[in-house]
Amino acid sequence: MAIIFASAPRALEISRAVKAGRMRKLASKIYTDDLTSPPEEIVRRHRLEIAAHFYPGALISHRSALEGSNISPGGKFHLTVSRAVATVRKLPGMEIRIWRGPAPQAKDTRTPLSEGKELFTSSQARAVLENLQIARAHGHDEPKTLSPEELERWIDRYLRIFGVGWLDKLRQQAADLASRFGWPRERQELNQLVAAIKGESSSYRLVTDLVRSRAQGKPYDPERVTLFGMLQACLAAEHFVELPRPPANELENRAFWEAYFSNFIEGTRFTVEEARLIVYDREGAKALERKRPDDAHDILETYRLIVDPRISGEVPKDAPHLLEVLKRRHARMMASRLSIEPGVFKKTNNQFGSRVFVAPELVSETLARGWPASRELPSASARALYVLFLIAEVHPFNDGNGRISRLGMNAELEASAQARLIIPTSLRNDYLTVLEALTGNSNPAPFIAFAHKLAEVNSRMPFGSFEQSQAYFKQTGALDEQPQGFGFLTSMLEAKT
């Protein structure tokens, strides 16, 4: 399917094709052989070809340059040309707006198109200057520039990706362009905006909480905060089966299995018998500790964090307390791994498969902004699940984040006199899959379904004695990884299609 531009040599051919029903007219001098798609959709899909045909060599500029060369929410597509032409071309689904300005420069991106035509797109530095121009829209018309809020959010997104060095480079490039174009007002406006973003003295008044927070030295990840809010709303509407606090004589056995499974999920893999030695027989574990000292410490200290009543059920009272508790738990759990910097938030980002976690400089404030929503949830189970995802999604440390997130989850349950939850090895793949579905697809359904299944699985686990638990886990396959699990992978994939 294509668009065809009318021309004298093709006039008869196009006329016959239209009469025969093989083509239809979209707008003046624009035809198509797509007889089914809405005209608006066709025009939008071929916007670059249309722009290049009528305005060859034009520059995609102003808000269109920062919106990825897409049609604006108001249906506008902005071009700059260096010659005088009609300022508006109205088409189905799109209105091309023409502005007169400097020709494309060396750093403007060239896009070659059909018939030897081409367009250019303003460089980031030029586009930012263009979006700082005074734009007088008439009535309810959409201006050619992003709003101050939209521009601040655009800049913050790139700062989160590339850091402050990107902003300094953009300002220098913009200064060179402003001198060349004779745009002193735009240059001064950008200088004041950059100063405000950096928290320096400035006449520019930031309009978004996002960038004001950055200016105060507290940048955060707005997409994650939105994701946390969405999950909180879903959890608030859900009813979970809540398991009562177990008898005191089961607590030690439960703690062992919780520590064992939590470490196995993260790749710290010992046999059950080896883990028993590490936890209960210091003398018998010496050979294992000499061979794998860090892994042995991880299991032992996870167990100790679970049985230590001073921290096992500690629920932070506010955001600063949350950061302190997380660091304290991590410092204990990873004490033998000095290279991981126990108790210190990460300095480089981490990822698991396709999941890229929150950037280091955004960790503290993203946690701080995500935490209050947990306190609004009515049930302990909902709060626990929210905290699990909050910590896992931010991934604040270099390593040990999964265990720390599960300790946070179970602290919520313990503090409310409920049973701590154990994720057996058989549910490992499902557990990781539902986290990925929530991260990558903003789809909480698999996560919530998994939570219900987890409660059901835990309700059947016996902890009267170690032998009873081990026999049950062997019988049910809980000690073995299941490639398909309970089908949450299928749910996630279906949700993406």
Q: Distance between CA atoms of 263 and 346, rounded to whole angstroms?
A: 20
Residue 139 has pLDDT above 90, yes or no: no
Question: What's the pTM value of the predicted model, to 2 decimals?
Answer: 0.88
Tell me the three state secondary structure of residue 109. Answer: strand
Q: Tell me if 4 sits within 8 A of 23, measured CB to CB.
A: yes
* H or E element that contains 494: helix 488-496
- If pLDDT is split at 50, 70 and 90, which confidence band does 275 have? very high
pLDDT (tens digit per residue) in 293-326: 888 889 999 999 999 999 999 999 999 999 999 9
Contacts 24+ apart (CB under 8 A), 28-32: 29/5, 30/3, 30/4, 30/5, 30/6, 30/91, 31/3, 31/4, 31/5, 31/6, 32/1, 32/2, 32/3, 32/4
pLDDT (tens digit per residue) in 229-266: 999 999 999 999 999 999 999 999 999 999 999 999 99
Q: Cα torsion at 355, 360, 365, 367 (round to 10°)? A: 40
| pLDDT for the residue 1 | 65
> 419: burial class by Cβ within 10 Å (0-12, 13-18, 19+)?
buried
Domain locations in the chain as residue ranges: 3-122, 148-215, 222-496
Sequence letter at residue 244:
P
Q: Cα torsion at 382, 384, 386, 387 (round to 10°)? A: 160
Cα 318 from chain centre: 24
Q: Tell me if 367 sits within 8 A of 394, measured CB to CB.
A: yes
| pLDDT for the residue 487 | 47
| pLDDT for the residue 290 | 86
Tokens 């070809």, residue located? 49
Tell me the three state secondary structure of residue 281. Answer: coil
Sequence letter at residue 52:
A
- If pLDDT is split at 50, 70 and 90, which confidence band does 106 have? very high
Tokens 């001064």, residue located? 188
Residue 491 has pLDDT above 50, yes or no: no
Sequence letter at residue 379:
S
| pLDDT for the residue 458 | 97
| pLDDT for the residue 389 | 98
Residue 286 has pLDDT above 90, yes or no: no
Mean pLDDT score, 193-218: 97
Q: Encode 366-377 in three state secondary structure.
A: HHHHHHHHHHCC
Q: Distance between CA atoms of 11 and 25, rounded to whole angstroms?
A: 13
Q: Pull the structure tokens for residue 92.
A: 């189905």
Q: Pull the structure tokens for residue 318.
A: 């506010």
User: What backbone torsions phi and psi does residue 25 show, to the nearest 5 degrees?
Assistant: -90, 135
User: What backbone torsions phi and psi does residue 119 show, to the nearest 5 degrees?
Assistant: -125, 165
- If pLDDT is split at 50, 70 and 90, which confidence band does 485 have? low
Residue 130 has pLDDT above 60, yes or no: yes
CATH number at 222-496:
1.10.3290.10
Tokens 């670059």, residue located? 48
User: What backbone torsions phi and psi does residue 100 show, to the nearest 5 degrees?
Assistant: -90, 130
| pLDDT for the residue 481 | 82
- Percent over 90 (pLDDT), the chain: 86
CA distances from 97 to 72, 102, 277 (A): 11, 16, 74
Tell me the three state secondary structure of residue 76. Answer: strand
| pLDDT for the residue 351 | 83
| pLDDT for the residue 479 | 93
Q: Pull the structure tokens for residue 22.
A: 């093989």
What integer best gives the mean pLDDT of the chain? 93
Mean pLDDT score, 418-428: 96
Q: Distance between CA atoms of 308 and 255, rounded to whole angstroms?
A: 10
Residues 6+ apart with CB under 8 A from 331: 342, 343
| pLDDT for the residue 483 | 66
Tell me the three state secondary structure of residue 342. Answer: coil
Task: Compare 22 and 287 and report the one with higher pLDDT.
Answer: 22
| pLDDT for the residue 492 | 39
Mean pLDDT score, 14-22: 94
| pLDDT for the residue 494 | 47
Closest among 322, 320, 402, 313 to 357, alpha carbons compared: 402
Residue 489 has pLDDT above 60, yes or no: no
Q: Distance between CA atoms of 57 and 54, rounded to whole angstroms?
A: 10
- If pLDDT is split at 50, 70 and 90, which confidence band does 168 have? very high
Q: Distance between CA atoms of 181 and 267, rounded to whole angstroms?
A: 58
Q: Tell me if 485 sits within 8 A of 430, measured CB to CB.
A: yes
Task: Compare 399 and 284 and report the one with higher pLDDT.
Answer: 399
Residue 496 has pLDDT above 50, yes or no: no
Mean pLDDT score, 111-137: 94
* H or E element that contains 42: helix 39-45
- If pLDDT is split at 50, 70 and 90, which confidence band does 173 have? very high
Residue 484 has pLDDT above 70, yes or no: no
pLDDT (tens digit per residue) in 75-103: 999 999 999 888 899 999 999 999 999 99
DSSP, residue by residue, 216-231: TT----HHHHHHHHHH
